[in-house]
């Protein structure tokens, strides 16, 4: 029988100690694991999702009335107060659209002839907005901001939009205070750091050791599969906790995330890191239980990263996924960890609302432990 059921605390600790000693002696290996998520946080946080600024927008005024002046004034206010637009003036729509096609503008606002007259008479006054919709993010923001700016008080309509309701004002209230995109990313980068640890300790190094014959040396001793899997898990989990906590601390500082809930939030976040780290490490052990080619984990790295991380809700709300992607993301513990960490760190909700996430992560880790020990061959 290839699966040996024996277990010894001393043997398990010996395996874990050896593994940790090796990590300590190859400390440079750990630097990318800490740096990568931090770089991810900073670059992604600063390049995506934050407030857009300085969008180049052309204004073409073909009407000389008071309402047209009011439109231009409002645009200048938007440009100056929030730095949302960088306004330019064009003599006619054709020139403006040509320059938009050439990439000089992201949008063109056309105040057509007769605009003021229609507005004064109380008739629908049509404001033309042409956008470069190859950049959907900028296009949506330009349209949205113009709609919001002219919905209150003026009541004009953008050419491509449905009618805004004149006189209705919408005021946004942030229930958790202002949160920027970088803070939104913090749970994701912690999960990403744990994925890197699992990939290195549970995948790459495990298979390298096997290829180097280290395990062959172990297999002729009384060491059981359980000793080996638990020992390697213990060392990888220790590493996960160190790296995960380090990234949590650094991310909280860099993203200026206030720790709502104080110590209890911190303890729960550490608990979440432990459960996710455990699940991911055992998941890797299961995948690599019989792999002997050192290139395999390296080849799988990118695929596993995409499959587990991107659908986890780390970057985009899971509610908007199609059903199949939603199903895929529900299989992996990343989704639950991201949800739990976001609830804890950004909302300070306490244990109750994340108990479900913790339970699913624990179940995943338990299932992976059984699979890893069962599949981990004790013979060649």
Q: Does 8 bind other proteins (CB under 8 A)?
A: yes
How far apart are alpha carbons 335 and 315 in whole angstroms?
Answer: 11
Q: How many CB atoms lie within 10 A of CB 251?
A: 26
Least separation in angstroms between CB 28 and other proteins:
13
Binding status of residue 4 toward other proteins by CB under 8 A: yes
Question: Which one of 40, 184, 195, 218 is in contact with other proteins (CB under 8 A)?
Answer: 218
Rounded least distance, CB 240 to other proteins, Å: 20
Q: Nearest approach, Cβ of 290 to other proteins (angstroms)?
A: 5
Note whether 14 binds other proteins by CB under 8 A.
Answer: yes
Q: Which of 36, 126, 180, 219 binds other proteins (CB under 8 A)?
A: 219
- Comparing CB distances to other proteins, the nearer of 18 and 118 is 18
Q: Pairing between strand 107-111 and 55-61?
A: parallel
Do 378 and 2 touch, CB atoms closer than 8 A? Answer: yes
Compute the distance between CA of residue 236 and CA of residue 238 in angstroms, rounded to an integer.
5
Interface segment toward other proteins; rule CB under 8 A; list 11-19, 51-59, 141-149, 312-320: 11-19
What is the 8-class DSSP label of residue 135? S
DSSP state for residue 114 in the 8-state scheme = T
C-alpha distances (whole Å) from 230 to each of 86, 233, 309 are: 59, 5, 25
Structure tokens at 95: 């020139």
One residue of 50, 103, 222, 262 binding other proteins per CB under 8 A: 222
Q: Give start and end residues of each alpha helix (H) in 157-315.
A: 181-197, 205-211, 214-219, 225-254, 262-287, 295-309
Residue closer to other proteins (CB basis): 123 or 208: 208
**Contact flag: residue 292 with other proteins (CB under 8 A):** yes
Residue 217 found at the interface with other proteins (CB under 8 A): yes
Q: Name the residues that contact other proteins, by CB under 8 A.
A: 1-2, 4, 6, 8, 10-11, 13-14, 17-18, 21-22, 25-26, 210, 212-223, 290-293, 377, 379-380
């Amino acid at each position: 029988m290839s699966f040996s059921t024996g277990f010894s605390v001393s043997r398990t600790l010996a395996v874990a100690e050896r593994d940790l000693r090796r990590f300590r002696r190859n400390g440079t290996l750990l630097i990318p694991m800490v740096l990568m998520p931090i770089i991810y946080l900073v670059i992604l946080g600063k390049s995506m999702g934050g407030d857009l600024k300085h969008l180049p927008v052309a204004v073409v005024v073909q009407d000389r009335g008071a309402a047209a002046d009011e439109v231009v004034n409002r645009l200048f206010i938007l440009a100056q107060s929030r730095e949302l637009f960088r306004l330019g003036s064009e003599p006619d729509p054709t020139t403006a659209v040509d320059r938009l096609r050439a990439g000089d503008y992201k949008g063109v606002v056309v105040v057509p002839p007769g605009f003021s007259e229609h507005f004064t008479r109380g008739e629908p006054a049509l404001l033309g907005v042409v956008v470069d919709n190859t950049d959907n993010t900028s296009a949506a923001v330009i349209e949205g901001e113009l709609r919001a700016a002219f919905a209150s008080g003026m009541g004009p309509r953008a050419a491509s939009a449905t009618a805004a309701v004149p006189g209705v004002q919408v005021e946004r209230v942030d229930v958790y205070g202002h949160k920027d995109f970088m803070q939104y990313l913090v749970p994701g980068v912690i999960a990403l750091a744990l994925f890197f640890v699992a990939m290195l300790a549970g995948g790459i190094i495990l298979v390298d050791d096997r290829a180097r014959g280290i395990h062959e040396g172990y297999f002729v001793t009384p060491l059981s599969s359980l000793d080996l899997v638990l020992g390697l898990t213990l060392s990888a989990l220790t590493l996960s906790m160190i790296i995960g906590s380090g990234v949590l601390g650094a991310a909280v500082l860099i993203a200026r995330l206030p720790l709502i809930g104080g110590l209890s939030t911190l303890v729960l976040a550490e608990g979440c890191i432990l459960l996710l780290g455990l699940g991911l490490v055992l998941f890797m052990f299961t995948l690599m239980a019989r792999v002997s080619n050192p290139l395999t984990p390296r080849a799988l790295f990118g695929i596993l990263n995409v499959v587990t991380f991107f659908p986890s809700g780390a970057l985009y709300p899971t509610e908007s996924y199609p059903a199949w992607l939603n199903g895929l993301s529900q299989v992996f513990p990343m989704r639950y960890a991201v949800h739990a960490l976001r609830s804890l760190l950004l909302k300070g909700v306490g244990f109750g609302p994340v108990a479900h996430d913790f339970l699913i992560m624990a179940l995943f880790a338990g299932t992976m432990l059984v699979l890893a020990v069962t599949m981990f061959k004790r013979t060649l």
